[in-house]
Structure 1
Amino acid sequence: MSFFTGKALPPLLMMAVISLPAMADEQPYTLSGMVGGGIGVKPAYLGARDDKTDFIPAVKLNYGPYFIGGVDTLTAVGWNFIDGEQWKFALGVGSDLSPRQASDDEHLKGLGDIDVTPRAFLSGIYENTLFKGGVIATQDVGGNHQGLRVITFAQLKWEPTETLSLFAGPTLSWGNSQYLQTQFGVTSEQSARSGLPRYRAGSGLEDVGINTGLDYQFAPSWVAGVRASALYLTSDAADSPITEQSSQIRYGLFVAWRF
């Protein structure tokens, strides 16, 4: 299934093209964003019983409607082709730079590595002072048969002071059969090498969860943040012989310079 087929995308692109003449009269773009990093703890792979500790990059660069940063699990380059006070629509391309590797856990021995592949994305996000929510769809465009993934999220936001902000809310993700087979399926060849039973994953809900976060501005251009999430694998993802534990916890701490 190709994410960029059908009749939904052309009208959005037409709206973006119509907005281009107005952009020509605006002031020159300036570079803004944040650069930093921290430490995070997460499962060794999605479905693992054991955790691992990693460096967390905290990078988001904006230049007018263009940006570089994290989109879902991707490190991406994107374009906000509609950027209103509350609604924002973006498209671009990126990649998960650390997909699952057989060396991540003894349980994965014989399954082989999941390749790094370019993924196109389209997102729509609504935000006001108390709420943020949206949908992000990513599609493999590198010919590696890694399919389509769609996530949706909603967050309640609270700023008790000018320097402190908090958020929390639910998430869920869905994948088509190509995506879930890559992540949770076991082919005949993989079964022979690993000893795990052959398993075919079909399309469906991948996981449901909750995300929470806290940001504290401790200096005019510096911010420290804490992130924590809990998710529960469902359906074919939970039933896969690759999955050792359906409940997955992630948390981390970062510091970044804003400019």
Structure 2
Amino acid sequence: MHSTLAQPLALFCLLSAASFPVLADSSQNEFSGFIGGGVGVKPKYSGAKENKTDFVPAIKLNYGPLFVGGVDDLIALGWNVVKTDRWTFALGVGTNISPRQESDDPHLKGLGDIDVTPRAFTSAIYENDYFKGGVILTQDVGGNQQGFKLASYAHLQWRPTQSLRLFTGPNLSWADSDYMQTQYGVTAAQSARSGLARYDAGAGIEKVGWEAGVEYALTPAWLIGARVNAQHLENHAADSPITEEKGQASGVLYAAWRF
């Protein structure tokens, strides 16, 4: 898929994975899901000083405990192994279809492209009337040395009416040295081509942030919403010569049809 389409799709999958409830029921083999889209704004790459604006399509399909859709920044095929009225545990495999490309920004010239690679994931999500939080673990299983990443979020949520949901809360990501070196490191060869200083990125916290959003059900089938996410690069991610701006912000306005 061309990167101009893949990047906004990956953004919306990331946003929608936390906002839409899992619709599949493990006791019923029937189709459900959502189709929608909107307008999203995000940095050109992690650490960029400039943003890009795109139309953002989104789709998630469920059949019983199986689903296809967004998990963290992956497009994934997953299985809800355990689902109760509070907890959902899932596992599966997916890929980030929009890894960083040299053509994304002039600052990346000489660094080359990051390869698309399959990643296995497992996740645990808890939700009640006032809180929703989750942890998502992903690991490169394609042999491309893109390592391990942990992403987490914790949202307080409030429903002043049956149709309206407000939510806000922190998020954090941690990654091992393989992941960090791929995203933020500069090898000797890349340094020679790009003019950036050689840099070895080690394991640690990648980003911390805060997210807020609103969703409104126009009808039982139609949902509109907006969300913003402000993050700050930390440690090796912040100190990388690839990083031009440590503060990163993204947002999306969207509408979706649920079935």
TM-score, normalised to structure 2, is: 0.88
Superposed, 1:85-164 pairs within 5 Å as: 85-164=85-164
Residue matched to 1:253: 253
**What's the CA shift for 1:163?**
1.3
AA of the residue aligned to 1:200: D
RMSD across aligned positions (CA): 1.0
- Displacement over 4 Å in runs of 4+: none
- Structure 2 gaps, min length 5: 1-25
AA of the residue aligned to 2:109: K
- For 1:160 and 1:77, locate their aligned partners in 2 and report how far apart those are by CA, in whole Å: 34
- For 2:81 and 2:173, locate their aligned partners in 1 and report how far apart those are by CA, in whole Å: 24
- Structure 1 gaps, min length 5: 1-22
AA of the residue aligned to 1:44: K
Residue matched to 1:226: 226
Superposed, 1:33-48 pairs within 5 Å as: 33-48=33-48
Partner deviation per Cα, 1:53-101 (whole Å, 9 max, x = no partner): 1222222222111111111011111001011111111000111111100
- For 2:54 and 2:98, locate their aligned partners in 1 and report how far apart those are by CA, in whole Å: 11
- For 1:94 and 1:64, locate their aligned partners in 2 and report how far apart those are by CA, in whole Å: 19
- For 1:232 and 1:148, locate their aligned partners in 2 and report how far apart those are by CA, in whole Å: 20
- For 2:55 and 2:146, locate their aligned partners in 1 and report how far apart those are by CA, in whole Å: 25
Q: Which has the larger radius of gyration?
A: 1
Q: Is the 8 A contact 1:58 1:254 kept in 2?
A: no
Identity %: 60
Superposed, 1:202-213 pairs within 5 Å as: 202-213=202-213
- For 1:242 and 1:45, locate their aligned partners in 2 and report how far apart those are by CA, in whole Å: 10
SS of the counterpart of 1:181? helix
SS of the counterpart of 2:218? strand
SS of the counterpart of 1:236? helix
- For 1:55 and 1:137, locate their aligned partners in 2 and report how far apart those are by CA, in whole Å: 28
Residue matched to 1:67: 67
AA of the residue aligned to 2:157: K
- For 1:142 and 1:55, locate their aligned partners in 2 and report how far apart those are by CA, in whole Å: 30
AA of the residue aligned to 1:153: Y
Q: Is the 8 A contact 1:180 1:237 kept in 2?
A: yes
Between 1:79-88 and 1:50-59, the stretch displaced more is: 50-59
**What's the CA shift for 1:130?**
0.6
